[in-house]
Amino acid sequence: MNTFVGWTPFQGSNIYHNEPAGFPNSEYKMFNKTSDGRASEYFVFSEVHPFSICRPPFGTHPGGTTQGRIYHLPGNYNIQASTFSFGDGHAQPHKWVNCNFNNSIMMEYDGNWHNHDTPFPAHGGAQAIASDLDWLNTHTTYKN
Range of the domain at 117: 15-138
Domain tally for the chain?
Answer: 1
51: left (phi over 0), alpha (psi -120 to 50) or beta: alpha
- Residue 30 falls inside a structural domain: yes
- Residue 91 falls inside a structural domain: yes
- Residue 24 falls inside a structural domain: yes
Phi and psi for 83 in degrees, rounded to 5? -100, 140
pLDDT in tens, the chain (144 residues): 676 675 555 555 555 554 444 456 677 777 777 777 788 998 889 998 888 887 767 777 776 666 777 778 888 888 889 999 999 999 999 999 988 888 877 788 877 777 766 666 655 667 778 888 889 888 988 888
- Residue 4 falls inside a structural domain: no
pLDDT of residue 108: 82
CB burial class (10 A; 0-12, 13-18, 19+) of residue 136?
Answer: buried
| pTM of the predicted model as reported, rounded to 2 decimal places | 0.78
Residue 108 is given by DSSP the state T
Four-residue CA torsion sign, 9, 129, 87, 90: negative
- Residue 2 falls inside a structural domain: no
- Residue 59 falls inside a structural domain: yes
pLDDT of residue 20: 45
- Residue 10 falls inside a structural domain: no
Contact assessment for residue 55 and residue 21, using Cβ atoms and an 8 Å cutoff: no
pLDDT of residue 140: 86
- Residue 144 falls inside a structural domain: no
